[in-house]
Amino acid sequence: MKKKAQALGINHVVLEVDDLDEALKFYGRLFQFTMRGRNDHNAFIDLGDQFIQLRLGRTQEPDGARHFGFVVDDREPVREALEEMNVELLERGMNFRDPWGNRIEVVPYDDIQFTKAPNILRGMKVEGLTKTPEALKELSEKDMSP
């Protein structure tokens, strides 16, 4: 049997937008980020130990079921910002579309099997995160308990 690569995570996601400045303002109201770099057609924003590339120009219709999940320490500030901007939440959880049709789900860190190593959390200046019993069970079943 031929060896396969072991996936270790997702490095970045590209979101298509029609206006880089407006996209930076929109995402800046939802999440803390640092600007990694920018040119005429792209903006790169660091979110923790990963990044998002905002790319100028749409090539497809708004996303329906296709989406990705942002993991956050606290969803309430995101919910408040979305309400202030009159962004409609979709059918379940905290799903929404940005002004350019990119569908996003905001997921709580404590309730999923996703984890960050202590040194990464320290570098992000994040403390006191915990996991629900259900998330700890999922991690334990895969021998990934923190």
Domain extents in the chain: 12-58+68-109
In CATH, 12-58+68-109 is 1.10.1060.10: no
Predicted local confidence at residue 77, as pLDDT: 95
Predicted local confidence at residue 60, as pLDDT: 87
Predicted local confidence at residue 125, as pLDDT: 86
Q: How far apart are CA 78 and CA 32, in angstroms?
A: 11
Burial 103-116, CB ≥16 within 10 A → b, else e = bbebbbbeebeebb
Predicted local confidence at residue 53, as pLDDT: 97
Q: What is the CA radius of gyration of the chain?
A: 17
Predicted local confidence at residue 10, as pLDDT: 83
Q: What is the pLDDT along the chain (146 residues), one digit of tens a residue?
A: 999 988 878 889 999 999 999 999 999 999 999 999 999 999 999 998 889 999 999 888 888 888 989 999 999 999 999 999 999 999 878 999 999 999 999 999 888 888 888 888 888 888 888 888 898 888 889 888 87
The separation between CA 90 and the C-alpha centre of its own chain, rounded to angstroms, equals 17
Report the candidate in 40, 1, 43 with the shortest Cα–Cα distance to residue 24: 43
3-state secondary structure of 17: strand
Q: How far apart are CA 94 and CA 90, in angstroms?
A: 7
